[in-house]
């Protein structure tokens, strides 16, 4: 299992967004460790709940900043946000309802999605916000 690490290459140069991203990276690592260690289903479910809640909260945070500063890429950006939330919720349903174990591949897929989003849409947003904030 590879830990997801946050470093300057993931910085969007806006502190309040970087801080949220670091929390999400941390939660992904907690999830990955708990699956690897075979922690209880209740615990893994609690981590998933926390990850989903934190992700939704963070996306709302970014979307508020986009509205506040009249960012013209909001619609596309929000579409990507909704895709990630759907994917994580799907994973949680699979885990809690169908009682299927999460795999490291599934977690790594979502981690890859998150870093891809940070390097794409969030960098573009950060570049914009740096100029207007």
Which residue ranges make up the site for Fe ion (CB under 5 A)? 62, 122
Is 62 or 111 the residue whose CB approaches Fe ion more closely? Answer: 62
Cα 42 to Cα 46, 48, 77, distances in angstroms:
6, 10, 33
Cβ 62 to Fe ion, closest distance in Å? Answer: 5
Backbone angles phi, psi at 49, to 5 degrees: -60, -45
Is 23 or 94 the residue whose CB approaches Fe ion more closely? Answer: 23
Q: Contact, 55 vs 85, CB < 8 A?
A: yes
Is 19 or 36 the residue whose CB approaches Fe ion more closely? Answer: 19
Cβ 122 to Fe ion, closest distance in Å? Answer: 5
Tokens 């460790």 sit at which residue? Answer: 33
Cβ 81 to Fe ion, closest distance in Å? Answer: 6
Helix residue ranges, H only, 69-122:
74-96, 104-117
**Residues 47-68 as b or e (16 or more Cβ within 10 Å = b):** bbeebbeebeebbeebbebbee
Is 69 or 94 the residue whose CB approaches Fe ion more closely? Answer: 69
Cβ 131 to Fe ion, closest distance in Å? Answer: 18
């Amino acid at each position: 299992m590879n830990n997801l690490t946050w470093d300057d290459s993931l910085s969007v140069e806006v502190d309040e967004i970087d801080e949220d991203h670091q929390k999400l990276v941390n939660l992904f690592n907690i999830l990955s460790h708990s699956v690897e260690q075979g922690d209880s289903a209740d615990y893994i479910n609690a981590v998933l709940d926390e990850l989903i809640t934190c992700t939704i909260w963070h996306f709302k945070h970014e979307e508020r900043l986009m509205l506040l500063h009249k960012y013209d890429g909001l619609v596309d950006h929000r579409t990507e946000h909704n895709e990630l939330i759907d994917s994580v919720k799907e994973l949680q349903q699979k885990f809690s309802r169908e009682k299927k174990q999460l795999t490291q591949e599934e977690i790594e897929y979502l981690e890859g999605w998150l870093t891809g989003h940070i390097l794409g849409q969030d960098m573009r947003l950060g570049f914009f916000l740096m100029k207007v904030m």
